[in-house]
Amino acid sequence: MLLVGVDGWSGRTVWVTDRDRSMFEWFSIVRIADVQSVRWVLAALNGVDRPVSVRRAQSWCARMEAAGLVERAQLGGRGGALVWGTYAGTGVTRPNLHRQTTRHEVAVAAASARYATAGYAWQRDEKPAHVGGHQADGVALGFGWVELVEVELTPKRLPRYAAIFAAYRRRLDLGEADSISYLCNKESERAVRAALGELPAGRSIAPQVGVRSMYDRTGIWVDETLPTWMMTARDRAQRSTRRPRRSSSAALF
């Protein structure tokens, strides 16, 4: 454990554990999350498949806030307070809470937290190195398994879907991924399914694409259990006979 300092309000010593450092590593990837997602990642670090209690997550946030390693803001909504790591905790600058993309970032963090609890590593997708490429919202890594994850809260126009599906077709052909998951609200789910069926590029990748409605209209994912479609990394590894294409132990990060 690492001594960070003294809580100026209570005079208590604040310690940072290996588990806390893993949380900061996660925050350095997702940048910002709500308390619901913190519950899930704490569960992942405890090796359980259900989120810890809201009280326990809030206690962790308060302890790290006292040490100057996280900050919180209560903006209302079902997901609870927004939480992010400070520069001291993550080396990442403070997010702009009022930027239009913040809701999407929080939704991506919710997906990341579920995959972490299911035993997958999570990382940001690499920016495309060529024209016509597409950067997914995240990558879930298991033993011999690479899943590109798209969080879709706003439907796109057909030409945009055509370009994205074509980019995914190339990545699948190159062996860069095994599957693609679209995690949506109900409106976006309808749009993605329609595009997959209508566009030639969509039909070509449809067998390797999963489309699920997981978010409400505000972009919040509040289920208390892992979805039945999300096979754990351990179960997937036991069913696979392939060698991993990239180095990954399917740990949290």
Of the pLDDT bands very low, low, confident and very high (cuts 50, 70, 90), residue 222 is confident
Mean pLDDT of 6-26: 77
Token pair, residue 200, equals 């030639």
Alpha helices in 154-228 (DSSP H): 158-173, 186-198, 200-205
Of the pLDDT bands very low, low, confident and very high (cuts 50, 70, 90), residue 251 is very low
Q: How far is CA 243 from the centre of its chain?
A: 25
pTM of the predicted model as reported, rounded to 2 decimal places: 0.91
219 contacts 107 by C-beta, under 8 angstroms? yes
Looking at residue 250, what is its pLDDT?
41
In sequence order, the 6+-apart residues with CB closer than 8 A to the CB of 233 are: 118, 119, 120, 142, 143, 145, 250
For the chain, what is the mean pLDDT? 91
Residue 210 φ then ψ, to 5°: -105, 130
Of the pLDDT bands very low, low, confident and very high (cuts 50, 70, 90), residue 132 is confident
How far is Cα 69 from Cα 16, in angstroms, rounded to an integer?
10
48-61 pLDDT tens trace: 999 999 999 999 99
